[in-house]
Amino acid sequence: MKYRKYIAASLAIALFFSVLYTATRTHPESTARTVKTQTHSKVRTPPRNEDPDTLKQFQKTDFYHTIIDNNLFRPLGWTPPRPQDHYRLLGTILPKDDRTSPTAIIETTVGHTTHIVSINDNLDADTKVISIKNKSVTISINGHHRTLRLLSAF
């Protein structure tokens, strides 16, 4: 009972602001504006899109990519990290006869497990060995071909 005055006052204030909001709000078609502009005869301005739904979804989100890519709070001279390959080629074995298939020794960089594979073998569910050459192996990850090269220190 003691808060009845506060509840009544807050309802009165809410009613006042809702009436004020609806009274000052006008519909865009009900107001007409005339604007006189002078343009240079050689300058042609493109027509302006008044409908915001004409922008496609990818165009609406592209405005934010500049802010995300160029973060204001990153240190000066910051460069994005280089993406690390999931696989590293440790060696290839190329046979001298046609009866033996070429093999490669590939290590996963995440789990540090070593695989000895031939052509058309699967490294995991999405990765398949396409070809094995001297110091290089071509693998297919989800249909995208990647070439692993053997890094030699000498």
Per-residue pLDDT tens over the stretch 71-112: 888 888 888 888 888 899 999 999 988 888 999 999 998 888
Model-level pTM? 0.49
Of 5 and 48, more confident: 5
Tokens in use for 97? 């006869």
How much is the pLDDT for 116?
A: 95
Tokens in use for 45? 């301005």
If we measure between CA atoms, which residue out of 142, 133, 125 comes closest to residue 104?
A: 133
Question: Cα 124–134–95 angle (5° rounding)?
Answer: 90
Q: Exposed, middle or buried: residue 148 (CB in 10 Å: 0-12, 13-18, 19+)?
A: buried
Q: Answer yes or no: is pLDDT of 126 > 70.
A: yes
| Cα(150)–Cα(123) distance, integer angstroms | 18
If we measure between CA atoms, which residue out of 143, 142, 151, 147 comes closest to residue 132?
A: 147
| Cα(129)–Cα(148) distance, integer angstroms | 11
pLDDT category of residue 23 using cuts at 50, 70 and 90: low
How much is the pLDDT for 98?
A: 84
Please identify, in words, the CATH class of the domain defined by 87-149: mainly beta
